[in-house]
Structure formats: structure tokens, C-alpha cells
Structure 1
Amino acid sequence: MRPVATPPVSRGDDPKAKLAETRDALGEANRRINGSRAWYEAVREDYRAGEVQ
């Protein structure tokens, strides 16, 4: 799983814009975590069902 880049913050940046960028980065991170969780759960189900080759 690739890490999600955090938006850099510099003096003079618009706080609302940085907050929106951070929110978007966290949303992407959560999508990746949920995707990984679903993949791993499918692997576990395959093992339970004896469908692993």
C-alpha cells in the first residue's frame, strides 16, 4: 500500500485551501485502507472456503 502524500504547508498559504488538500489526502488514504481491508477479507474467505490453490 502506497503512502498518501501530505500537502506541504508554507508561511502565507491559505489555511482553507490547505485544509481542503488535507481533507482530500485523508479521503484517499481511507479509500486505500478500505480497499486493502476488502482485499484481505476476500483472501481470508477464500482460505475458509478452501478455494486457495
Structure 2
Amino acid sequence: MSVASHVEELRRKHQSLALAVEAAERSPSTDNLNISQMKKEKMRLKEEITRLSH
């Protein structure tokens, strides 16, 4: 897998997670710990994308 395709896959995962976080934040029954974990994973993906893009 090339670096560019790996970065693209990470971007897709990041976008999917962003949508999941937004949906979870709108849902009153979602656990705040779950939202926090999704946000941390989203941040980790963003950092990995940034690291590989430079």
C-alpha cells in the first residue's frame, strides 16, 4: 500500500468517525465516555494523517 493510499484510507476513517461523533452528540442516550473515546481516535487519525503528509 502506498503512502498516498494509506493517507486516503485514514481520511475516510476520520470522516466516518467525525460523522459518528456528530450523531452521538445529538443523541441523548449516548455515553459521554464513548464520545470521548471516538474523539481521541479521531485526533489520533488526524495526527497520523498530518505526520504522513509531511
List 4+ stretches of structure 1 deviating above 4 A: none
* Number of residues of Structure 1 aligned to a counterpart in Structure 2: 37
Higher relative contact order (CA 8 A, sep 6+): 2
TM-score (norm 1): 0.57
- Runs of 5+ consecutive residues of structure 1 not aligned to the other structure: 38-53
CA distance in 2, matches of 1:23, 1:17: 10
Higher gyration radius (CA):
1
Q: Which has the higher helix share?
A: 2
Q: C-alpha distance in 2, partners of 1:26/1:11? A: 23
Instruction: State the identity %.
Output: 11
RMSD: 1.6
